[in-house]
Amino acid sequence: MDENNELVKLSYREALKQALREALQKDDKVFLMGEDVGRYGGAFAVSKGLLQEFGPERIMDVPLSESGFTGAGIGAALGGMRPIVEIMTVNFSLLAFDQIVNNAATLLHMSGGQLNVPVVIRISCGIGRQLAAQHSHSWEPLFAHIPGLKVFSVGTHEDARMLLLTAIKDPDPVIIFEYTAMLNMEGSIPISIPAVDISHAKVRRTGKDISIITYGAGVYKSLEAANELMKAGIDAEVIDLRSLRPLDDRTIIDSVSKTHRALIVEEAWQSVSISSEVSARIMEKCFYELDAPVQRLGGVEVPIPYPKHLEDASIPQKDQIMEVTKKLVGHG
């Protein structure tokens, strides 16, 4: 086997850490700032060991003030640096919402194109570690609503390893959602991975009977469901949206035009969601290609519960994806 095609097995956490390390090694202007990212090694151990390797000027512990340190990151970006701002959990991102929405997202427009804000904001997101309503939700749709931001979702080990390296080069603010439920999950990726084209969705599995469109923690669940469905004679295509703003309409429309059915899966609450937008675009751009109504499978619209069985019941699972898919293609 060619060395470049050899696979290495690693956890989602380790893939994120390797991406951070490589970004720091490649550009002296890159630095990481966030709560507990230094001496403690990160709330989820993603930055463990980086303080010892790069020092406190590039791995910066900050006070417990999301608005304050996110604003400082925006200021550093305006000053020519390439900051990576880590927000510990998605719930805490609301404390930085003013800085993200009213400053980072608007400055290029309000300056007549003179002020770029090359800041990357990493946010731990999602459901599945019994962190309850204080520390676990999927609020990607809130950020994807905002012009001036680019919003990406890390749904695979490959993207955990490489997506940051592309995002850090962007001249404009980028939000990256990483998933706490996946941190210990192991996967295999090539030793040598080409740069990730984060502007396009990725067809993770080709199929002809239905398009399952998803992102984030829904990607592996959808792939598992698709592999099981093949035993029932259903050949499902799985699309990882990857970019939530901007959406890659072309990949979505091409897939649905081929399969003529669409199921959109996400952990975020279903009302006013990513799936709402994707469904609308399918209806607007390829309605006459559909053989069945577009279906959505989203999170139950409640604050995320703590008990494990209720937490699992609040978000789509593999069996639900299979059940809805079978109904859509007339197998049940």
Residue 216 half-sphere exposure, CB side, CA atoms within 13 Å? 32
Cβ atoms of residues 141 and 90 within 8 Å: no
Segment (H or E) for 38: none
Q: Which helix (H) or strand (E) holds 321?
A: helix 318-328
Q: What are the C-alpha distances in Å from 318 to residues 16, 149, 222, 279? A: 25, 31, 7, 21
Helix (H, G, I), strand (E, B) or coil at 235: coil
Angstrom distance (rounded) from CA 274 to CA 16: 24
Do β-strands 210-214 and 82-87 pair in parallel, antiparallel, or remain unpaired? unpaired
Whole-number CA gyration radius for the chain: 20
pLDDT at position 157 is 96
E strand map for the chain: 7-11, 30-34, 59-61, 82-87, 120-125, 150-153, 174-179, 186-190, 202-205, 210-214, 236-240, 243-245, 262-269, 295-299
Nearest of 209, 196, 189, 200 to residue 168 by alpha carbon: 196
* Residues with catalytic roles: 66, 135
Provide the residue-wise pLDDT of the chain in tens; the chain has 332 residues.
345 578 999 999 999 999 999 999 999 999 999 999 999 999 999 999 999 999 999 999 999 999 999 999 999 999 999 999 999 999 999 999 999 999 999 999 999 999 999 999 999 998 877 788 888 889 999 999 999 999 999 999 999 999 999 999 999 999 999 999 999 999 999 988 888 888 899 999 999 999 999 999 999 999 999 999 999 999 999 999 999 999 999 999 999 999 999 999 999 999 999 999 999 999 999 999 999 999 999 999 999 999 999 999 999 999 999 999 999 998 65
- Which pLDDT belongs to residue 237? 98
- The answer to whether 120 touches 178, Cβ cutoff 8 Å, is no
What pLDDT sits at residue 331? 67
Q: Hey, how many other C-beta atoms are within 10 angstroms of the C-beta on 149? A: 21
**For the chain, which domains are there?**
7-190 (3.40.50.970), 202-328 (3.40.50.920)
Kindly state the tokens that stand for 118.
């090359």
> How far is residue 263's CA from residue 268's CA, in Å, rounded to a whole number?
15
Q: Distance between CA atoms of 124 and 184, rounded to whole angstroms?
A: 14
Determine the pLDDT at residue 203. 97
The residue behind tokens 């893939």 is 15
For residue 244, what pLDDT is reported? 98
Distances (CA, A) of 66 to 78, 136, 203, 273, 279: 18, 17, 35, 25, 34
- Note the pLDDT of residue 222: 98
